[in-house]
Structure 1
Amino acid sequence: MNAPVMTSMPRALPAGHRQRLLSTAREVAFPAGARLFEEGDLADRFWIVRTGTVDLDMKVPGRPAAVIGSLGHNELVGWSWLFGPHVWHLGAEAATPVRAYEFDAPTVRALCEADPWFGRSVAQWVGGALAGRLHATRTRLVGR
């Protein structure tokens, strides 16, 4: 597989670590409306979007799920797979047709445990993506 340039993964992962992670990926596709995961379910995989848009949503009692963000090209979908208890904190749905790289979380966690430098790189990448989303959410909330 040709390794894509990952702008959400980039400089947080050294080239060798990026290649190692991408070597575990498989290409998948989701039609618009497909659920990638549900809040509260086991977080056993994650994705990097190649094309399309994925909406993140939260359950709201008595109402439809509220969309709280959207992810697109080269963005990481899912972080709960890295942190115990490995349960999704949100839900995700393909807003448009999506093509993505899918990663098996237990496999990646095992690689992280076997190689602490690789694990540190992956944790920094995921943490950076999460920090960026928190900052964007804060900016949206302050702007309202």
Structure 2
Amino acid sequence: MTSTTTLATALPVRHREWLMDLGREVFFDAGSRLFEEGRHADRFWIVRTGTVALDLHVPGRRPAVIESVGHGELLGWSWHFPPYVWQLGAEATSPVRAYEFDADAVRMLCAADPEFGRAVAVWVGKVVAHRLHSARVRLLDLYAPYGSGTR
């Protein structure tokens, strides 16, 4: 992920502190599924340590891993956009420590403070754009006859 999409650089210090006040520390063993594509998205995480693989359901095939998320990165963006349904699946590929956030609480803070809400929306939007590009490149690499065709 780019430096503009990690928490440390995505939000101003004041907004980062507000967000972190809503978080709680959690742990996932390697192999744990954090969420499944198509299910309700009611939380998100910022990874502290470890790695999480994001995967996409491909009919008739195993899920395609499109990206790995690690230290300082946002895990989950579907909580931010109605109808709040996961667009990808996620599995810990190593033991993971993360901060977990309740989506309702963060959305309420976004609504209460428009400046904070805009900062979070821009951050999440950058993450979505990055993940969309990663998914496109990975799926082309896996299924196109000549690879991704990136220049």
TM range (shorter): 0.7 to 0.9
Q: How does 1:58-137 map to 2 (within 5 A)?
A: 58-137=56-135
Task: Give secondary structure in 1 for the equivalent of 2:117.
Answer: helix
- CA deviations 1:85-107 (Å, max 9, x no partner) are 10000100001110001110011
Partner of 1:41: 39
1:30 to 11, 28, 35: 28
Is 1:8 paired with 2:15?
Answer: no
Q: CA deviation at 1:11?
A: 3.3
Whichever residue aligns with residue 38 of structure 2, its letter is G
Whichever residue aligns with residue 126 of structure 1, its letter is V
Cα distance in 2 for partners of 1:14, 1:85 equals 28
Whichever residue aligns with residue 46 of structure 1, its letter is F
Q: Which runs of 5+ in 1 are unaligned?
A: 1-5
Q: Percent identity?
A: 64
TM-score (norm 2): 0.84
TM-score (norm 1): 0.87
Q: Which runs of 5+ in 2 are unaligned?
A: 139-147
- CA deviations 1:20-72 (Å, max 9, x no partner) are 00000000000000000000110000011111110001112233222111111
Whichever residue aligns with residue 94 of structure 2, its letter is T
Task: Give secondary structure in 1 for the equivalent of 2:62.
Answer: strand
Partner of 2:143: none
Cα distance in 1 for partners of 2:136, 2:60 equals 26
Q: Residue 24 of structure 2 contacts residue 100 of structure 2 at CA under 8 Å; is this kept in 1?
A: yes
Whichever residue aligns with residue 33 of structure 2, its letter is R
Partner of 1:3: none
CA RMSD in angstroms, aligned pairs only: 2.0
